[in-house]
Chains A and B, each alone.
Chain A
Amino acid sequence: MYSKKFLEILKSGLDQWDEQVAPLRGKKSMPRFFTVSGEDIDELYTPDSVDGVDQDDYFEKQINHPGVFPYTRGVHHNMYRGRLWTMRQFAGMGTPKQTNERFHFILKQGGGGLSTAFDLPTLMGYDSDHERSLGEVGKCGVAVDTLADMEIIFEGIELDKVSTSMTINSPASILLAMYLAVAEKQGVPFEKVRGTLQNDILKEYIAQKEFIFPPKPSIRLITDMMDFCTRKVPQWNTISVSGYHIREAGATAAQELAFTLADGFCYIESAIEAGQNVDEFAPRLSYFFNAHSDFFEEIAKYRAARRIYARHMRDKYKAKDERSWKLRFHTQTAGCSLTAQQPENNIVRVALQALSGVLGGTQSLHTNSMDETLALPSEKAVLIALRTQQVIAYESGVANTPDPLGGSWFVEALTDKLEAEAEAYFAEIERRGGVLNCIEEGFFQRELARSAYEHQKELEKKDRVIVGVNDFTLEDEKIDIPVLKIDRRVEQDQCAFVKKIKTERDNNAVQATLENLRQVAAADGNTFEAIYDCCKAYASVGEMCDVLRDVWGEYVETQAAMQVS
Chain B
Amino acid sequence: MAEKIRVLLAKPGLDGHDRGVKVIAAAFRDAGMEVIYTGLRQTPQMIVDAAVQEDVDAIGLSILSGAHMTLFPAVLKEMKAKGAENIILFGGGIIPDEDIAELEKEGVSKLFTPGASTEEIVSYLRSAVKNKSDDEQII
Q: List 7 A-B contacts (CB under 8 A).
A: A120-B15, A135-B13, A139-B65, A453-B27, A456-B118, A564-B35, A565-B22
Known: A120-B15, A132-B14, A456-B23. A479 touches B97 (CB 8 A): yes
Question: Any chain B CB within 8 A of the CB of A519?
Answer: no
Task: Classify the interface of chain B: helix, strand, loop or mixed.
Answer: loop
Find out whether the CB atom of B26 lies under 8 angstroms from the CB atom of A120.
Answer: no
Contact with A along B13-52 (1 / 0, CB 8 A): 1111111001101110100000101011101000000000
In the complex the two chains form, what is the Cα distance from A211 to B43 in whole Å? 17
Q: Which residue of B lies closest to A459 (CB)?
A: B117
Question: Any chain A CB within 8 A of the CB of B119?
Answer: yes
Chain B residues, CB < 8 A from A556: 39
Tally of contacts, chain A with chain B, CB under 8 A: 107
* Residue total for A at the interface (Cβ-Cβ under 8 A): 47
Interface core residue of B14, B25, B115, B119 (most chain A CB under 10 Å): B14
In the complex the two chains form, what is the Cα distance from A209 to B62 in whole Å? 14
Find out whether the CB atom of B19 lies under 8 angstroms from the CB atom of A136.
Answer: no
Not counting A136-B65, A375-B66, A453-B26, a sample of 15 additional A-B residue pairs whose C-beta atoms are within 8 angstroms of each other reads: A120-B13, A121-B14, A123-B14, A124-B14, A132-B41, A134-B74, A135-B67, A139-B66, A208-B16, A209-B16, A249-B18, A338-B114, A339-B115, A341-B115, A452-B22
In the complex the two chains form, what is the Cα distance from A469 to B117 in whole Å? 9
Minimum C-beta distance from B68 to chain A (A): 8
Chain A residues, CB < 8 A from B37: 562, 564
CB contacts under 8 Å to A, within B65-104, are 65-67, 69-71, 74, 94, 96-97
From the candidates A136, A374, A448, A486, name the one contacting B13 in the complex (CB within 8 A).
A136
Find out whether the CB atom of A120 lies under 8 angstroms from the CB atom of B65.
Answer: yes
In the complex the two chains form, what is the Cα distance from A470 to B96 in whole Å? 21
In the complex the two chains form, what is the Cα distance from A256 to B29 in whole Å? 27
From the candidates A204, A485, A564, name the one contacting B22 in the complex (CB within 8 A).
A564
Question: Any chain A CB within 8 A of the CB of B113?
Answer: yes
Question: Any chain B CB within 8 A of the CB of A449?
Answer: yes
Question: Any chain B CB within 8 A of the CB of A199?
Answer: no
Contact with B along A84-95 (1 / 0, CB 8 A): 000000000000
Find out whether the CB atom of B19 lies under 8 angstroms from the CB atom of A460.
Answer: no
In the complex the two chains form, what is the Cα distance from A562 to B43 in whole Å? 18
Chain B residues, CB < 8 A from A557: 39-40
CB contacts under 8 Å to B, within A353-396, are 373-376
In the complex the two chains form, what is the Cα distance from A449 to B16 in whole Å? 14
In the complex the two chains form, what is the Cα distance from A343 to B70 in whole Å? 26
Minimum C-beta distance from B22 to chain A (A): 5
Contact with A along B99-138 (1 / 0, CB 8 A): 0000000000000011101110000000000000000000
Chain A residues, CB < 8 A from B74: 134
Known: A452-B22, A562-B39. A135 touches B70 (CB 8 A): yes
Question: Any chain B CB within 8 A of the CB of A133?
Answer: yes
Minimum C-beta distance from A462 to chain B (A): 11
Contact with B along A116-129 (1 / 0, CB 8 A): 00001101101000
Contact with B along A1-39 (1 / 0, CB 8 A): 000000000000000000000000000000000000000
Question: Any chain B CB within 8 A of the CB of A271?
Answer: no
